[in-house]
Amino acid sequence: MPSWINIARWLHILSAAAWLGEICLMAFVLIPQVTKMPAEGRGQFMTHFFPRISRLASHLIAVTMLSGLWLNYLMTGWRNMHVYLTSRHGLLVLAGGALGLLIALVHFGVLGQFETRFASGDQQAKTLRLMQIVPKVGLLVVSLAFILMMVAARGY
Ligand code: HEM
């Protein structure tokens, strides 16, 4: 039977990797393709597919963050929390976790707005310009969180 700390770590790494993968798909496949679609098809496509994409992202973000907190608890028992501000390992996990939290807040903050904006044709062009930037910035931030966590766990 694998230890709980390994189960938490595997869950954390797999969900973080799936989240990163979904952002790559958005940034490099879905949005570039949607941009090439005719306007009337675009609204239909986005209002049909986008809710599912963001629902998957919500689940992956929730599992990444909760399994990270669980892993953190199994490793530290949430005692001596000052080590997070005084050790390199602690600072790296804190920085990676904070970046993840930032993207999670943006995700849950704008959730739903993109669908409604796409459905209402008049805001579609502006929303599409935003969609060409937001996933790419998200990709940079989540990749950085990933790297900080890996350096925390294994050094560089
Ligand atoms: C609430 C936010 C988070 C917390 C509390 C958290 C906590 C942790 C902890 C305690 C570890 C183990 C470090 C070690 O083995 O020494 C870890 C590893 C890891 N975390 Fe996070 N994490 C969070 C968010 C994230 C995010 C947003 C990502 C990436 C999208 C991420 C990716 C990883 C990866 C890839 C590892 C494994 C590194 C390895 O074993 O090579 N974590 N995390």
Q: Which atom of ligand 1 is nearest to the CA of 75?
A: 10
The angle at the Cα of 90, spanning 88 to 93, to the nearest 5 degrees, equals 110
Is residue 150 lining ligand 1, measured as CB closer than 6 Å?
A: yes
Which tokens sit at 125? Answer: 């062009």
Query: pLDDT tens digits, residue range 113-144?
Result: 665 666 565 667 778 788 888 889 999 999 99
Instruction: Answer whether residue 98 shows pLDDT above 90.
Output: yes
Which tokens sit at 143? Answer: 């990749």
Mutation pick for ligand 1 pocket among 13, 93, 102 (CB with most ligand atoms within 8 Å):
93
Q: Report the percentage of the chain scoring pLDDT > 90.
A: 48
Q: How far apart are CA 63 and CA 90, in angstroms?
A: 21
Across the chain, mean pLDDT equals 87
